[in-house]
Amino acid sequence: ELKVEQNPLFLSMQEGKNYTIYCNYSTTSDRLYWYRQDPGKSLESLFVLLSNGAVKQEGRLMASLDTKARLSTLHITAAVHDLSATYFCAVNQAGTALIFGKGTTLSVSS
C-alpha cells in the first residue's frame, strides 16, 4: 500500500527566507505531483515530475524528484506573503489514482 509523508506539516516563515518541504513515498511510482491550495478553494497544479532527477521551477518554487530515494522536495526561495497556502504532494498509484500527503501549511509573514 502506497504511503505518502510530508514534512513539515506546518511552516512559519519570514519574508525573504528560504525553506524546503519534503515528500517521501513508500513504493515505486512513475510520477509525482505538487499542488497548491488556498483556503476554501480547490487544488491548483504546480508541478508534475516524471523521472528521476527531474527538476522544475516556477517563480520562487522549485521541485525535484529522486526516485531511488523515493523523495521529492519543494524549495521556496526568498518567500513572499503571496506564497502562503497549503502545499500537497501526491504520488501516482499504479496508473490509477493519486495518493496525497497530509499537506504543508505555509505561513509567510513580514
* Footprint on this chain of another protein (rule: CB under 8 A): 6, 9, 31, 33, 42-43, 45, 48, 50, 88, 90, 95-103
Query: Of 84 and 103, which has the nearer Cβ to another protein?
Result: 103
CA dihedral 80, 11, 17, 69 (to 10 degrees): -110
Q: DSSP assignment, residue 81?
A: G
- Residue indicated by cell numbers 505555509: 106
Query: Of 7 and 18, which has the nearer Cβ to another protein?
Result: 7
How near is the Cβ of 6 to another protein at its closest, in Å? 8
Query: Of 9 and 78, which has the nearer Cβ to another protein?
Result: 9
Helix (H, G, I), strand (E, B) or coil at 106: strand
How near is the Cβ of 100 to another protein at its closest, in Å? 4
